Structure 1
Amino acid sequence: MPNPLRPYRSRLRRLLGQPDPDFLAGALESWEEAPGGVVHIRPALSLPGQVERIRSSVFATLADTVNALTLEGDVREGPTLGWRFRNVDLVDGVLYRDGAELHLRSRRNRLGLAFRPRQTASGALYESWNTNRWFGSWLMDALVAWPLAERTGEPLTTAPPPPVGGHAARYEELLGVDPMRMPAAVHFDDLIVFSDLANNPDKWRRQHELRSKLLAGRNPEPVPGVFLIRGTGGDLRLLKNERELAERLATERGFRILDPLSASVDELIEACGAARAIVGVEGSQLVHGMIVAPPDAAILPIQPPDRVAATLKQLSDRLGQRYGLLVAEGNDTVFTLDWRDLAATLDLFD
């Protein structure tokens, strides 16, 4: 039965300085949803001195990020895991179980105590805090985890219905994603959650299946490349000479320029589905192009020196694409890139 005291008990435990219990430790059962395995990784292509420009990283330590970008060879990846729980409450984006918590999204109410479960449900979640925080993570991880929930139980999500006509709604339509959407507070009689972080062969397979579904019935025109504008959308990462670089690529190399904020999902798929290169500031907007670009396409995120990430490298590995490391000059929010660095890095893929 729902227990309205669970959020209060968790808050009290933190106030008393008590350690956080492991949410996963209380699972009724656990299993390998997909086995681990060996995958072959190709290193990022880069000009001399690019690694040395990196001053800081996100999502991993600097050493681990550099290793992920430069690693070459066979790598053993872990399995995709599943856990089943009984008697779990969802309250304002947080799962509560016997004093343990699992955060799925930022709370709407900072105290986290404004909602009481009045509805019951059972099923499988295919989301995580990252996929609810960043649209690019939703595109490259939640949609790839959807088949896990679909075949294991009733697929559930805490996300509200996406705006009609928006990107998320169209992706869900194309991929047949139709979950049961949870209210702010709900009691789960039976709940399944997954860990799909490992970049194992099954995740590679599901990523290729997603690409095939998005391209089904289409015949995109081959183009030298697509520059996906970031502008000031999302978290601020402003490439001051972004428009200049994009226009030079269009004039001198035959690239198409698209702004995902004004382009439809279908326009993005048609433009990027046979592109030989996807270029733009590192961020969610690049994922639109990457998830449909062909194997061996050049993936070239322009990264600020104080915010380098290897997340998109994992996606390019899954799709057999070639990844380039290109670090701009500036800080984590405002930076510039020399045209000569961009052009010379693209030449590495010829």
Structure 2
Amino acid sequence: MHSLRPITNRLARLVGGGRKEFLDTAVERWEISPAEKVEIIPGIWLPDQIEHVAQTEFGALSDIVACMLGDPQEPIAATMAYRLRDVDYIDGALYARGAEMHLRDGRHEGRRLSYPRPERSISGAIYESWIGNRWFGNWLLNDCMTYRLAETAGHPVTTAPLRGGHIARYEEVLGMTPERIGDVHFDELVLFDDLHNNASRQARASENRARLLAGRVCKPLPGVFIFRGTSGATRILENEAEIAERLEVEYGFRTLYIDRHSVDEIALAVGGTDLVVGVEGSQLAHGVIAMRAGGALLTIQPPDRVTSALKLLTDCWRQHFAMVVGHGTIGGFRLEWDDLRRTLDLIAARNPQNPS
């Protein structure tokens, strides 16, 4: 048998029904952590950095400036859970009554009119997100925290296949043992609204850091530089190797390479420092999860792709966020050493345990 949910959802929108929010189909909802006001730590950057910005990502320049200003009493929404019934997961999307939610890019996204009904039925709690399936950093720092909710709410499930490398090892050390599913029908499904940096998220961030560092003796380091190179989406810092070397020689940093170092090696190094530096990108999530609260993450950014997205994550992990903007484009940009040095001085002034 086939389900016509995709076409009926589309027809409802065409006749003026609008797009129904997926979580509105829930039969039950409950509050995990209440709304509250939280201190948001101001970001750290040189006074002239705004003049270097040519183009922003994930928000306008005014949004980035507001994010960097911080807020001593920012209203933070509650963490919520939702129970839904009679939900199909097909080819990267969840389908319920009159609504759909995509967890990953599917082959038929936006074009499907119907689908064969899944033969298998289960109940479970999904902790993953579209953004986490797209970017490793969001998986590690967002979805892996929501897993802690899924394991208490019931049976954690994920649409992600078995993977090797860093992901497999993180799942192991964080105690994540989800059931991996393909196309399936959910008799009952629990989902979460868990993107708000309230006390619950901050506590789960601390728990995941503790799990990662448990049993490790981390020797103190002045700083760690996480080398990006050509990994991930294009952001080529042409003098990255030179900067890494100068940080090693002049500040005593250790350089880590994500294609050479394991999760355990990275955690052992980052767990002993209060300063992580690197080109803005998901590889810096290795630094955020292992670095102590109160440390600082310094992101090096091309002027045509400036973002404060990682600050939303360091805010949760109670770390300082800093940025310095180079010259050029994502296809090839350079950072002046003096700009980096002066930014390190600002971080040291804010956080005296860091190098000056």
What TM-score do the two structures reach when normalised by structure 1? 0.93
* Aligned residue number for residue 132 of structure 2: 131
Query: Are the equivalent residues in 2 in contact too, given 1:269–1:288 (CA < 8 A)?
Result: yes
Does residue 7 of the first structure (1) align with residue 12 of the second (2)?
Answer: no
2:210 to 209, 212, 218: 212
1:288-303 superposed matches below 5 A = 288-303=286-301
AA aligned to 1:243 is: A
- The answer (yes or no) to whether the contact 2:127–2:191 under 8 Å persists in 1 is yes
How far the C-alpha of 1:331 sits from its partner, in A, is 2.7
2:312 alignment partner in structure 1: 314
Q: Residues 333 and 204 (structure 1 numbering): CA distance in 2 closer, same or farther, change over 3 Å?
A: farther
Q: Counterpart of 1:271?
A: 269
Q: Which residue of 2 aligns with 1:118?
A: 119
Secondary structure class of the residue paired with 2:3: coil
Corresponding residue for residue 78 of structure 1: 77
Structure 1: where are the runs of 5+ without partners? Answer: none
Aligned residues of 1:36 and 1:79 also touching (Cα < 8 A): yes
Q: Is contact 1:3–1:89 with CA below 8 Å preserved after alignment?
A: no
- Give structure 2 stretches of 5+ with no counterpart: 349-356
Secondary structure of the residue aligned to 1:238 is coil
Say whether 1:181 aligns with 2:180. Answer: yes
Quote how far apart the aligned CAs of 1:162 are. Answer: 1.5
Judge which range, 249-258 or 19-28, deviates more: 19-28
CA contact (8 A) 2:303 2:325 kept: yes
The answer to whether 1:167 aligns with 2:171 is no
Partner Cα separation in structure 1 for residue 301 and residue 115 of structure 2: 40
CA RMSD of aligned residues (A): 1.9
Aligned residue identity for 2:120: Q
Structure 1 residues 147-156 or 49-58, which shifts more? Answer: 49-58
Higher mean displacement: 287-296 or 136-145: 287-296
Count of residue pairs the alignment pairs up: 346
Q: Is the alpha carbon distance of 1:3 and 1:85 closer, same or farther for their aligned partners in structure 2, counting shifts above 3 Å? A: farther
Name 1:63's counterpart in structure 2: 62
Q: 294-303 or 4-13, which moves further after superposition?
A: 4-13
| Alignment CA distance shift 1:244-1:103 (3 Å) | same
| Separation of aligned partners in 2, 1:198 and 1:65 | 18
In the TM superposition, what whole-angstrom CA distance separates every residue of 1:110-136 from its partner, at most 9, and x where no partner exists? 544676412111111111110111000
State which drifts further: 85-94 or 112-121.
Answer: 112-121
TM-superposed deviation, 1:281? 0.5
Counterpart amino acid of 1:85? Answer: L
1:191 equivalent in structure 2: 189
* Per-residue CA distance 1:287-315 (angstroms, 9 max, x = gap): 10111111222210112222222221122
Identity %: 47
d(CA) in 2 for partners of 1:294 and 1:115?
49
After superposition, the Cα gap between the structure-2 partners of 1:17 and 1:91, relative to the gap in structure 1 and judged at 3 Å, is farther
Task: Give the C-alpha shift of residue 109 in structure 1.
Answer: 4.1
Q: Is the 8 A contact 1:126 1:157 kept in 2?
A: yes
Q: Are the aligned partners of 2:2 and 2:116 in contact in 1 as well (CA < 8 Å)?
A: no
1:255 Cα deviation (Å)?
A: 0.7
Asked if 2 retains the 8 angstrom alpha-carbon contact of 1:77 and 1:200, the reply is yes
The TM-score normalised by the length of structure 2 is 0.92
1:249-284 deviation line (CA, Å, top 9, x unaligned): 111111111111221000000110011310001111
Tell whether the 8 Å contact from 2:2 to 2:115 is kept in structure 1 after alignment.
no
Residue 18 (structure 2) pairs with residue 32 (structure 1): no
In the other structure, the counterpart of 1:239 is 237
Tell me which amino acid in the other structure corresponds to 1:256: R
Structure 1 residue runs of 4 or more that deviate by more than 6 Å after TM superposition: 14-18
Aligned twin of 1:151: 152
